[in-house]
Amino acid sequence: MALIDEIQEQPEVAARLLAEAGPEVAALAATIKSADPSHVVIAARGTSDHAAIYAQYALGVMAGVYAGLATPSVHSLYGRAPDYSRALVIGISQSGASPDVVGVIRAAREQGALTLAITNTTGSDMAEAAAYHIALRAGPENAVAATKTYTATLLVLAMIAAELSDTDASADLAALPGALGKVLDLDDEAARIAADMSQLNRCVILGRGYHYATAREWSLKLKELSYTLADPYSSADFIHGPLALIEAGFPTFCVAPTGAAEADMKAVIERLGGELGARLLIVSDSTALRDQGTWSLALPASVPEWLMPIVSIVPGQLHARHVTMAKGGAPEQPRSIRKVTLPN
């Protein structure tokens, strides 16, 4: 199956998850509430690590739960296991086979921690290592660049956050497959924008809050498919030094949906496009913000901020694929990488 086919499957995958996974997510949330862990630790690598960043915001904002990222190399390189005994420890891996992430889950379970695996592979090492497992139900993902398993992971994490917060998010969640279908219609526009970027070799991608995860994931897609040196930043960090990178014409991509981070992103966009003369690609549901870009991709206005990362990464996936082809590359066959990585 080609990469574009897997990108286009995302509305179907979301609909299937919402139809099938609700009862097990609700049961899991009840177990978590009963166990009352003091905090959450999330172990992941690559694309899954970006889903973990989203989870930090979703759990923190929606449920008031502190979530931190694990350091798997503490286990795999240094042979030590931090104290996880009072935590909920979540492992995220589409394959369920990332060895050092599996190691975190095994160590946590041995310590008596509540453990959860989120994978696309039932029966994988991680699914077997954890006390609880939620399958992504995304079907086989053959492309090296993860797409549908990423948005499926975000959706599972959003469902968990909603259950833990006792928020009735059913209507907003149910609308996600339609919103995903709508952004897939941006493919032609993404191709037109990418045609201007056949010489793209470096760029900066900005987001803040929930949307920092999207900046990170879009950056990874550009790196692994088109070999573009794409640096992702929180806009809050970007102004503390990296802003010096920007000169007239520098390509800068901004993930700027409406919501809590909107005012900050607006101020950064105005400075980048005005005083500094950057060439801006704006991904937003705000017409006013999009109008400030050299290029823009429109997000649906109906998606609440906490769910927008599930939708806003799709234009990035489409764009990265088209940039790859505009540069003469093959999105199905990126060099030097494969689906499951070894520990480092």
pLDDT 10s digits, 75-117 = 999 999 999 999 999 999 999 999 999 999 999 999 999 999 9
Overall average pLDDT of the 174-203 stretch: 98
Same fold for the pair 3-174 and 177-326: yes
Question: What are the Cα distances from residue 149, in Å, to 76, 308, 318, 322?
Answer: 25, 16, 15, 20
Alpha-carbon gap, residue 61 to 56, rounded angstroms: 8
**Residue 126 and residue 101 in contact, taking contact as beta carbons nearer than 8 Å:** yes
Residues listed for the chain: 344
Cα 234 from chain centroid? 14
For residue 251, pLDDT over 90 is answered with yes
**Residue 336 and residue 223 in contact, taking contact as beta carbons nearer than 8 Å:** no
pLDDT 10s digits, 318-341 = 999 999 999 999 998 888 877 654
Residue tagged 């946590």 (tokens): 108
Domain 177-326 has CATH 3.40.50.10490: yes
Regarding beta strands 39-43 and 114-119, do their DSSP bridges make them parallel or antiparallel, or are they unpaired? Answer: unpaired
Alpha-carbon gap, residue 109 to 128, rounded angstroms: 11
From edge to edge, which strands make up the β-sheet containing 202-207? Answer: 229-234, 202-207, 251-255, 279-284, 295-298
Contacts for 16 with CB less than 8 Å, ≥ 6 apart: 137
DSSP label at residue 223: I
Alpha-carbon gap, residue 207 to 9, rounded angstroms: 25
**Residue 54 and residue 309 in contact, taking contact as beta carbons nearer than 8 Å:** yes
pLDDT 10s digits, 120-176 = 999 999 999 999 999 999 999 999 999 999 999 999 999 999 999 988 999 999 999
User: Which option is the CATH number for 3-174: 3.90.79.10, 3.30.200.20, 2.40.40.20, 3.40.50.10490?
Assistant: 3.40.50.10490
Domain positions in the chain are: 3-174, 177-326
Overall average pLDDT of the 176-181 stretch: 98
Strand partners of residue 253: 205, 281
Write down the pTM of the prediction.
0.96
